[in-house]
Amino acid sequence: MGNTVGTPTNPQKFLDQDYEELRRDSVESKSRFVDETFPPDKSSIGQNLLDNDKMARVKWIRPTNMVKDPYLVVKGESRFDFAQGDLGDCWFLAAIGAITFQKDIMDEIIPENQSFSKDYAGIFHFRFWRFGKWVDVVIDDKLPTINGKLIFVHCKTRNEFWPALLEKAYAKVCGSYADLRDGLVSEALRDFTGRVFFTLTLEPDRPKYWSLMKRAAQHRSLMGCGSRHGATSANTELPNGIVERHAYTITDVHKVLSNGESVKLVRLLNPWGRKEWKGQWSARSPLWKTVSAEDRTKLLDSKEDGEFWMSMEDFCRNFAHVDICCRSPVFLDDSSENSWTRVMYEERWEKETASISRDGQTFWMNPQYWMKVPHLDENQTESQSHRNVLVSLMQEPKSRHRRLVQNHPIGFSVFMVPPELRDQKTFPASFFTSSSPVKESPLKSGTREVVEFFRLRPGWYLIVPFTSIPNLTASFFLTVHTNAAESSFTPESCRLL
């Protein structure tokens, strides 16, 4: 497995650039690396991001020419290191805020032995998970500035540059800095980790999911969220301090006793590094005087750094969804890590096989996957609330430029297979016209990935990914997580027919 290309230890070379080879050439020639595949010019900034006046004033400068003592990382990576610049990539920065809590993830993304000192050659590299494979992305360290100051993400510590270089590497993967405008926290969390994610939809008048979020935090999950859309444009600050249509990091979930009553709290971080909640349980709220001195000392921080507490009730009123990213769905049911098994497939829809209608003649030509759901072991329950399958369907873009990607409406259907058909090699059109799916994802457009978590009784099933666009040729990535006794489920239990 360690030699397989596309793993964290052996990532694919993005655009066929070999970091070690390029760095060695630059060191031997005593030159500073300049990346021709992502040149320091307006093409890398992208279209319609800066006005003509700003674009004309942009100068690409290396950190060694900005400060006397540049460092990639100063005293470890922290969620308080950076602040957002003139780029609407709060979704990306909210995800960075989440991963700074876990050094193992940061070490995968930022490979070791990189610095501005020994054998410095103006070249760095970062790693991301992209559609089933890890990729190694090489960049030069020329950064866009105006009047000597970084115009996009920047560190609060003047000589620390990991956020700016990481943002540049991700901009290269996505096509340009302009391609980072607007997105979902879940998208960046997936690209940082390759882990499963699950989205919770919040209801303003029904505060729930706090216990699930608490479990997610206990299982070292990464969490982000998005504020609700209002009548105003994006990034409008409300009187209560919340910014509309904006991404935040969830940095903690905690319960306190206030005047003897239990209160559920959520802590959030604004990637701007400022603009905090002003309501109850904010830094200046008198409610903090009602909790124990121990909790007040432990939890309350009056710094204006963009991080704040709010009650679960206020959280649900102001935020629309929560994205949770974890190694396995274990946090969803508090089960054992060993009980969840994952299998992944990379496949394609071919021309004239894409059809949403099971009455049509092409639906059966979509890829078909067997899935066996075994009997639960004696320590597991068969209650209807026990959800034991999580399916993720991700479509792979044809364009490198993220802003040009057209995410097609995609979904999947799950059919139960009766015993008499379990020797079937391929299921014909007649099976789908006479059978109804036992589970079906909503057909979603405008999103690259559909994720559903549900319960299936023991038996054999067929999963059929589909798109509603006729004559479409496109690649997709299917992941199936199943919760069962470890000895009774293997990757072969879910296979392509």
Q: What is the pLDDT of residues 43-58, one digit of tens each?
A: 999 999 999 999 999 9
How many Å is the Cα radius of gyration of the chain?
A: 24
Pick from 350, 342, 343, 371: which is nearest to 464 by CA?
371
Q: In this predicted structure, what is the pLDDT of residue 331?
A: 79
User: 112-140, pLDDT tens digit by residue?
Assistant: 999 999 889 999 999 999 988 999 999 99
Residue 308 scores a pLDDT above 90: yes
Placement of tokens 């996505």 in the chain: 174
Rounded mean pLDDT, 242-257? 94
Confidence of residue 312 (pLDDT cuts 50, 70, 90): very high
Determine the Cα–Cα distance for residues 134 and 8; give it in Å rounded to an integer. 6
pLDDT at 496 over 70: no
Span of 24-33, 126-135, 373-382 with lowest mean pLDDT: 373-382
Q: Which two tokens stand for residue 252?
A: 């903690």
Other beta carbons within 10 angstroms of residue 426's beta carbon come to 9
DSSP string, 187-247: HHHHHHH--EEEEEEPBTTB---HHHHHHHHHTT-EEEEEEPP-SS-TTPBPTTSPBTT-E
How much is the mean pLDDT over the chain? 87
Residue 480 half-sphere exposure toward CB, CA atoms < 13 A: 28
Q: Which residues contact 146 (CB under 8 A, 6 or more apart)?
A: 54, 57, 58, 59
pLDDT average, residue stretch 352-379:
72
pTM: 0.89
Active site (annotated) includes residue 90: yes
Q: Is 125 a catalytic residue?
A: no
| Of 125, 154, 246, 408, catalytic | 246
- Taking alpha carbons only, the member of 44, 56, 101 closest to residue 78 is 101
The mean pLDDT value for 412-426 works out to: 89
CATH of 196-325, one of 3.40.50.300, 3.30.1360.80, 1.10.240.10, 3.90.70.10: 3.90.70.10
Q: What is the largest CA-CA distance in the chain?
A: 75
| Mean pLDDT value across residues 358-370 | 79
Out of 155, 174, 270, 388, pick the active-site residue.
270
For residue 274, what are its two tokens?
């400022």
* pLDDT mean over 26-44: 96
In the predicted structure, residue 383 carries a pLDDT above the cut 80: no
Cα dihedral sign for 139, 145, 149, 153? negative
Phi/psi for 186 (5° steps) reads: -60, -35
Per-residue model confidence as pLDDT tens digits over 167-184: 999 999 999 999 999 888
The pLDDT of 152-163, averaged and rounded, is: 90
Going from the C-alpha of 438 to that of each of 272, 409, 461, the distances in angstroms are 44, 20, 9
Catalytic residue, candidates 90, 155, 225, 325: 90
The yes-or-no verdict on residue 27 having pLDDT over 60 is yes
Note the pLDDT of residue 473. 83
Q: Could you confirm whether 316 is annotated as catalytic? A: no
**Bridge partners (DSSP) listed for residue 460:** 372
- Domain limits, CATH 3.90.70.10, in the chain: 196-325
Which residue ranges does the chain devote to CATH 2.60.120.380? 336-496
What pLDDT was estimated at residue 354? 63
User: For 436-441, what is the mean pLDDT?
Assistant: 92
**pLDDT, position 91:** 92
Query: How are the residues of the chain apportioned to helix, strand and coil, as percentages rounded to the nearest 5?
Result: 25, 30, 45
CA distances from 298 to 220, 254, 277, 295 (A): 20, 11, 19, 5
**Is the C-alpha dihedral spanning 106, 107, 110, 115 positive or negative?**
positive
Select the more confidently predicted residue: 335 or 263. Answer: 263
What are the pLDDT digits (tens) for 398-413?
778 888 888 888 899 9
CATH number of 336-496: 2.60.120.380
Cα 381 versus chain centre, distance: 31
Contacts of 283 by beta carbon, 8 Å cutoff, 6+ apart: 276, 300, 301, 302, 308
Per-residue pLDDT band for 492 (boundaries 50, 70, 90) equals: very low
How does pLDDT run across 207-219, given as a tens digit for each residue? 889 999 999 999 8
Q: Which of 85, 137, 146, 140 is nearest to 116 (CA)?
A: 140
| Burial call 461-475: b when 16+ CB within 10 Å, e when fewer | bbbbbbbebeebebe
Q: What is the pLDDT of residues 59-113, one digit of tens each?
A: 999 999 999 999 999 887 878 788 888 888 899 999 999 999 889 999 999 999 9
Q: Please tell me the distance from the alpha carbon of residue 78 to that of residue 61, in angstroms, as a whole number.
A: 24
> Which two tokens mark 289?
């005087």
Partners of 372 in the β-ladder: 460
Query: pLDDT-derived band of residue 487, with 50, 70 and 90 as boundaries?
Result: very low
The helix or strand, by DSSP H or E, that contains position 458, with its residue range, turns out to be: none
